[in-house]
Amino acid sequence: MIPRPPDRSFDLVRPAIFALIDMVALEAAFLGTFWLRFHSGWFLVPLGVPSLHIYTLTSFGLLVVWAGIFHAQGLYDSSRRKRIDEDVYGLVKGVILGSLLVLAVAFFFRGISYSRSFFGLFFLTSLLLLTMGRVLARAVLRAYYRRGVGITRVLLVGNSQARLRILETFHRMPGLGFTTVGCISLPGEPEPVPDPDHEYLVPPSLGGIDDLEAVVEEHAVDQVLLTLPFHQLVLLGELADRLGPQHVDVQFVPDLAELKISRMRSHDIAGIPLLGVRESGLSGFDRIVKRTLDVVLTGVGLVVLSPVLLLLALLVRLSSPGSILYRQERLGRDNRPFDMLKFRTMREDAEAGSGPVWTVEDDPRKTMIGSFLRRFSLDELPQLWNVLVGDMSLVGPRPERAHFAQQFQTDVPRYLERHRVRSGLTGWAQVNGLRGNTPIELRTIYDLHYVENWSLGLDLRILLRTVIHVIRGDNAY
């Protein structure tokens, strides 16, 4: 029997929706900027209003440039489903690159005189409208998905920890457009046990490995994800060969939890493919870039926030007897101890009887103003000084006390590898909801992901998400 041909029509619709809305947003931004710069009355026009016709023709050329840049960045790749923050980050990079290219061309092309301030405004308006456009595009796609159109039907083969992570992600992010039709167990694996509280983590069992081709055909599977434990990798080639005639996408999902890593980085040496399983994301030059970002942003932050810092210091002083600042020894990069600063939020003798303990929700040791400061993480603001002097970074794994670190290094695999970078005022674990009294094992996994995958863009994303989390007061106590 010849396998059914897959329906890949929506693979064209999805990127077409993104591209169309992006181009409309860019053109609207261009025309809106033209009005803002030359007709709104907010800016001087000493040389007169230029020809709208010339600028409009220029905009069509810019659309081609931006479309090419966005395509090169994978923003229109149907196989790469992204979160909204990843989308916006890609748009920011594309707009920056496109703006630099346009400014360079405008500088050297003297046939027509373009307003440089126009392109500066266009940079801002295009970012705003492109972001709004992406939100709209995702809403359109979700409307399709709710009607069952364009959904990618996924079959899971194997039962590693990666399978649970996939199921959790599909459940938490329905806008990605995936649905799980079921799973197939490998020889020797137990059948999934129903869990009424987390039904999405236990997909229907559709048989064994011998039923693979029949299940793919019967359930109109679009993509097979091989969630094989590493000790069963010998089956990888066999399963790929068997699924070849089925015309389905076959992807292997490595069990990173088994290797205790967060990501495999692919590269090559003279054409020889390699997969990195123990790498640091920070090179020597990366450290310079990161430190420069820390000093610049922290310096500006201390100046801008100085009135707020003085007001909070006064409130702490008036709220209860004791010092304004609380100093606590923490371990930073390379396990070096330093005194981390915070506004005092507890009684002066909070740990006199208990010794070092973690803060819990509704902790009776907190002062009245301390509860407010912790609710919005304002007690952490003095750590900007720690960042400025080099004890900490704006972004990195949160520092821990030596008392707890000594326990964790024996109980939590790879815990001390968090200390390969400076500790942070905020971090990847914190913006993913792992604050307060959350499992240290899970926080360590997220911290190691940051250490191994650092980039300037990741730092900026974390800082942006930190602002959102602080405003909402997520898990802060």
pLDDT recorded at residue 307: 92
> Under a CB-based contact definition with an 8 Å cutoff, are residues 216 and 209 in contact?
no
Q: How confident is the model at residue 25 (pLDDT cuts 50, 70, 90)?
A: very high
Question: Per mean pLDDT, which of 109-118, 157-166, 167-176, 292-301 is the most reliable?
Answer: 292-301
The DSSP letter of residue 150 is S
Provide the residue ranges of all domains of the chain, joining segments of one domain with +. Answer: 10-146, 152-259, 284-472
* % the chain with pLDDT above 90: 16
Higher pLDDT, 260 or 25: 25
Q: How confident is the model at residue 1 (pLDDT cuts 50, 70, 90)?
A: very low
Any idea which of 151-160, 210-219, 256-265, 331-340 has the lowest mean pLDDT?
Answer: 256-265
pLDDT recorded at residue 60: 86
Q: What is the DSSP string of 180-234?
A: EEEEEPPTTPPPPPP-TT-GGGSPPB---GGGHHHHHHHTT-SEEEE---GGGGG
Which residue from 361, 381, 363 is spatially nearest to 316, judged by alpha carbons? 381
CA distance 73 to 163: 28
* DSSP H or E run through 303: helix 284-319
Residue that is written with structure tokens 């100046």 in the block: 303
CATH code of 152-259, in short, is 3.40.50.720
pLDDT recorded at residue 334: 84
Q: How confident is the model at residue 2 (pLDDT cuts 50, 70, 90)?
A: very low
Give the count of beta carbons closer than 10 Å to the beta carbon of residue 417.
Answer: 19
Give the count of beta carbons closer than 10 Å to the beta carbon of residue 230.
Answer: 10
Rounded mean pLDDT, 366-370: 77
The DSSP letter of residue 420 is G
Q: Across the chain, what does the average pLDDT equal?
A: 81
Question: How far, in whole angstroms, is CA 378 from its chain's centroid?
Answer: 23
Task: Kindly report the pTM of this predicted structure.
Answer: 0.58
Beta strand spans in 213-253 (E): 223-226, 249-252
CA distance 431 to 305: 22
Higher pLDDT, 472 or 3: 472
Q: pLDDT digits over 150-170, tens only?
A: 888 899 998 887 888 888 888
Higher pLDDT, 43 or 105: 43
Q: pLDDT digits over 428-456, tens only?
A: 988 887 776 678 888 888 888 888 888 88
